Amino acid sequence: MTHITIENKKYVLIPEESYKALQKSAALKHHPEKTFSIAGARALSKKLIRKWSAEK
């Protein structure tokens, strides 16, 4: 691992194999956002519309 400073910003250089391993472990920890079914989306949108209209 090599430390480099360019214009007062610090950077770290690592071997490509280590970078790929870090990417893979980060991808495994990532959980995509849950998507709604059509019925669930409609229910949520109706709820938000009612909330919005009550505020006005």
Question: Tell me, what's the pLDDT at 23?
Answer: 93
Confidence of residue 15 (pLDDT cuts 50, 70, 90): very high
Q: 22: domain range?
A: 2-55
Is the pTM higher than 0.95?
no
Task: Give the helix/strand (H/E) hosting 47.
Answer: helix 38-55
At 19-39, the pLDDT tens digits run 999 999 998 887 778 888 999
Task: State the DSSP code for 14.
Answer: -
Look-up: residue for tokens 């669930």? Answer: 40
Residue 50 pLDDT grade (very low, low, confident, very high; cuts 50, 70, 90): very high
Task: Compute CA distances 26 → 21, 31, 45, whole Å.
Answer: 9, 10, 33
The distance of Cα 14 from the centroid of its chain, to the nearest Å, equals 24
